[in-house]
Structure 1
Amino acid sequence: MQQRSAGIAVSLPIVGRDGDHLTAYVNEATGGWRISDMGATLMRLSYENDLAKLLSGSRDRLYKTVLKEAGLDEDDGEIYIEVPAAELTRGLFALGQGVTRIEDLGLWTRSRVESTFQDDLRGVVIEAAGTDRVIENYEVPGIPSAENYLVDFCVRTYREPLYIFGVQNRDRARLATIILQHLNQHKHRFNSMIVYADIEEIPSVDQRRLMLAANDAVPSIVERETIIAKISHRLAE
């Protein structure tokens, strides 16, 4: 712990990606403490990444989710938390954990986001509906050539089933559209939901076609609470 012009510098028992211990800067605030990284986290990320590109699309949403979950705020590149006087330790821990997760954003290339997408989607669907209600790669009975029109996830409800399709790129968007159109053509009764890895990565023309074919959509897999709420709503009907 050292007194510096930016505040009291506290070396945290957490090591960043560069191998150095993370430093938090503590200053008095109204009724407590303001604990900050003084902009160091995003500065370190900028050494290896274009921040404008890194903090866009799904990774920007993930960045904001990490901030929210850790109770952190950001002001012009400075990541900080304000806590009551008696909660200094909690604030230091929250900043350290949040900053560590934010540094990992530099590892989330587009290919890695796509490779983990299906696992992430499976996890949130099962969390919302339970293992017993979920069937993966569902072959719809009574549909011609059903083996060629598989549904990513079928969630069994008390009424029409809910079909969930994961879309991480243009090809998957077009495939989901074809499957939905085939099911609708044969008068099959169901509800459907699209979950995108990042809707901004999908061409607008493909978005429009899919929007016409599906009942509902979630623009990013990062929005777990929204996905769970939509599935829970269908289960409650």
Structure 2
Amino acid sequence: MQSTAYPDPNREKLVEAAIPHVVFDGWGPETFQAAVADSGVPEQMARVAAPRGSVDLAAAYHKGGDRAMIAALEAADLSEMRFRDKIAHAVWLRIEAVDREVVRRGMSLFSLPHYAPEGVRLVWETTDTIWNALGDTSNDVNWYTKRATLSAVFTSTILFWLGDDSEGFKDTKEFLDRRIEDVMSFEKAKAGVRDNKALSALFAVPNAILGSIKAPTGARRDDVPGTRARAQASTPAGGK
């Protein structure tokens, strides 16, 4: 399994230098200037690596969490896990890869109206990375529904985690398990509709329309959420 494209080394130095400041100052201009001063990256090079300043550093921090999650999945033995447990484990590894206060500041940044679309894209790419790492081969409308439902699970779990004071984040883990169970129940319900002849006939036209939807590929638009992550997809971690 291949992690992701090699990150810009100057940007990564800036991210590392920014983290101690983010907790106190957020992902703002002050943090970027402090990161430039502490990292030793010349300001001109820093502006090339992160044209939007701290916004680019916040996005890079998020993507670094994705890379760390993939590395942890590669090292994990998932062979004895049920598929739903593999998903929950991947989400939890992603949470463990980041600092809670830094994420809290990132949530504040990407909740701003002009940055919200990028926040959505980052979450989508995270869930796309998870599905690809676990061997998802869907190439129809299910490609979208899987990522949409897992995006909702991931976002709600992060929000719960940010306010969780239970020992070892026990409450968050239980919350995540419940959300994954909801997703699995939804998938079972979809399968039941497909297997029921009467319901299949009733939904024949909608199903035909949905059946024409295909997952994005490298030959199609590259601005579809998750397309770049899918292009870097790799072999399954632990099998499906």
Instruction: State the TM-score bracket (shorter-chain normalisation).
Output: under 0.3
Using the size of structure 1 for normalisation, the TM-score is 0.25
Q: Which has the larger radius of gyration?
A: 1
Q: Which is helix-richer, 1 or 2?
A: 2
Q: Which has the higher contact order (CA 8 A, sep 6+)?
A: 2
